[in-house]
A and B are shown apart, each in its own frame.
Chain A
Amino acid sequence: MICPSASQLSSLALLGFGDCGWGAVLLAGFVNSLLIAIGAYALGFIIGITGAFGKLYGGPVGRDLWASYTTLVRAVPELVLILILYYAVPGLINEMLVSIGHGRIDLPQFVTGIIVLSVVQGAYQTEVLRGAIIAVPQGQIQAARAMGMSPAQVARRVIFPLMTANAVPGLGNQWLNATKDTALLAVIGFAELSKATYLASSATKAFFTFYSASMLLYLIMSLISIYFFGRIEKWARKGQRSSAR
Chain B
Amino acid sequence: MTKSLLKPHRVVLIFLCVAIIAYCILALNWSWLADPEYQMLIVKGVWWAIWLTALTMGVGMMLALPIGLAQAAGPWYLSWPSRIFCTVIRGTPLLMQIWLIYYGVGSLFPSVPWIRDSSLWPLLRQGWPYAVLALTLSAAGYEAEVMRGAFRSVPHGQLEAAKAMGMPRFAILYRIWMPQALRRALTTIGGDTVLQLKATPLVSTVTIMELYGAIRKIRSDTLIIYEPLLLLAVIYMAMTGVIVMFFRWLERQTPVRLA
Contacts and interface: CB of A to CB of B under 8 A. Distances in A.
17 contacts: A60-B7, A64-B9, A75-B237, A76-B236, A77-B212, A80-B212, A84-B233, A87-B226, A182-B93, A184-B93, A187-B205, A201-B103, A207-B100, A215-B88, A215-B100, A218-B93, A219-B88
A80 B232 contact: yes
Interface residues of B, number: 39
Given A72-B237, A79-B201, A84 B230 contact: yes
B96 A211 contact: yes
Main secondary structure of the interface of B (DSSP, over half): helix
A62 to B, nearest CB: 10
B99 A84 contact: no
A58 to B, nearest CB: 12
Contact of B236 (A65, A77, A83): A77
A211 to B, nearest CB: 4
Interface size class of A (residues with CB under 8 A): 35 or more
A78 B195 CA distance: 10
B226 A84 contact: yes
B104 A197 contact: no
B84 to A, nearest CB: 10
**Which of B96, B97, B194, B240: most chain A CB closer than 10 A?**
B96
Given A176-B91, A218-B92, A219-B92, A80 B9 contact: no
B93 A183 contact: yes
B199 interface: yes
A61 interface: yes
A83 B9 contact: no
A186 B98 CA distance: 13
B46 to A, nearest CB: 14
Interface string A84-114: 1001100000000000000000000000000
Given A80-B233, A87-B226, A194 B93 contact: yes
A211 B91 contact: no
B9 A194 contact: no
Contacts of B7: 60
Interface string B51-94: 00000000000000000000000000000000000011011111
A78 B99 contact: no
A218 B230 contact: no
Contacts of A181: 93
Contacts of B95: 183-184, 186-187, 194
A75 B200 CA distance: 13
B104 A78 contact: no
